[in-house]
Amino acid sequence: MLVSTRAGGDALEGLDLDDLMPDLPDEEDLHSIQEFGGAIFSEAGVPLTFGNDDAAIAAMRSGMAVVDRCHWGRVRVTDEHRIDFLQNQTTADFKKLSPGQGTDTVFSTPAGRTVDLVTGYVQERSVMLITSPTTTGKLVEKMNKFIFMADKVEVNDISDKCCMFSLLGPKSADLLKEMQAGPVVDAPYGTHSLLNFKGSPVMVAAGGGLPVVGFTLIADTGVAGELWRLLVDKGAVPAGEEVWEQARVMTGRPAPGSELTDEFSVLEAGLYSAASLNKGCYLGQETIAKVHNKDAVKQQLWGIEFDAAVEPGTELMQDGKRVGVVTSYAAAPTIGSGHHALGYVRCRVSGQQVRVEGMTVDAGGVRGVVTQIPFPTRDFAPDALPQTKAKESKPAEVESEEDAAEKERKAKKLAAMEARVAAYMAAQKEAAQIQNSDNKGEGGS
């Protein structure tokens, strides 16, 4: 049984290595338990499938599924300046968060292009970042590069110290209530609290990484096998990486190397909800603000339902003209057309917004229809935009007097500047004349 502790506490920070449980017997090892459950693994040891992909997809929609996300990164940011540091390095406003809260945020390039979509959990003395599997090392290196001598910040990859599972589907909320994690169930995205499982801390967070009812569980590696077994015994259908990829594509979560690259911007990827223009400067902020203020997004991330399989990288055509590109593809035979894709689609023609949803496109001879996907957002939250104060109206005579005074002040300032410039030029001329005179005197001697 999981026993609740306080929200946002730091018992999970680094997972308190002094209190780690001893290694469990081999039969309780997470890999062994999953293998016994029918898992087929990648060379890196990631469960690809449990041979039940259709059932797992159905469970995410109407039941409950559990996905092993241990291969995702867990990065711990600590010390006094951690919030200011993340405020400058990523797109979200960490200063408005309190311990026990969380947010999605984007690591972007100075040009506002995308590197990774990350989730940050704010704790009492640290922030835990959940990074995509392929970007953890790159982001740790990137962050360390921007830590200067006066900065009090430490960045540590603790991925191998803890496991991570996503519990997805409408029935997952009932299970968490049974496990005494009720306060997280109806809380805003990113809210998290610590529970006790067999003497080891487990962090439970609202949101499982996909736009369905879901939760994230992060625990000590020593109890990974037992926690997985408990979730499955309680009715969660085990799901592999292939099911996660199907669900990711169908719901529209962008991934590094596909939708998140230096070719696509934060706004094009539909990551408005993970960004702020009201918190000051950060990498990419100037470009993001400029594009938003000019309403200049020219392409957007959309879902596409195809009649047959397509390859990522295939251009999207309409009436012989390129209108976009396919970025991801996943087959899910039991849902819709069975052929699902993500792609960037042009949303402006000659500066005018065009309707994208329902557009028919061609990808290498395969017909597709552009569809809505739930993950992207197309506008900033109100508190993420700069607040402008309305200018108070004043009587015409007051404005006239103020305008005259301002003009007089500017005229005096200009006259003073011109006088200083004239004095400077005269001094320079005098100095030059003296120098010439000295030079002639030296030549005569």
- Are 279 and 247 contacting, i.e. CB atoms less than 8 angstroms apart? no
Both tokens of residue 124? 């009492």
pLDDT of residue 144: 97
Which string of DSSP letters, residue by residue, matches 362-431?
Answer: EETTEEEEEE--SS-B-S--GGGSPPPPPPPP--HHHHHHHHHHHHHHHHHHHHHHHHHHHHHHHHHHHH
Q: Which helix (H) or strand (E) holds 315?
A: strand 315-318
Q: Is the alpha carbon torsion for 94, 96, 98, 101 positive or negative?
A: negative
pLDDT of residue 408: 72
**pLDDT tens digits for range 290-340:** 999 999 999 999 999 999 999 999 999 999 999 999 999 999 888 888 999
What angle do the packed helices 136-145 and 82-89 form, to 10 degrees? 110
**pLDDT tens digits for range 64-97:** 999 999 999 999 999 999 999 999 999 999 999 9
Q: What is the pTM of this model?
A: 0.83
| Average pLDDT value for residue range 222-229 | 96
Size of the chain, expressed as the number of residues it contains: 445
Residue 6 CB neighbours (<10 A): 12
**Cα maximum dimension of the chain:** 107
User: 246: which strand partners?
Assistant: none
Residue tagged 């003395």 (tokens): 125
* Res 63 pLDDT > 80: yes
pLDDT of residue 403: 65
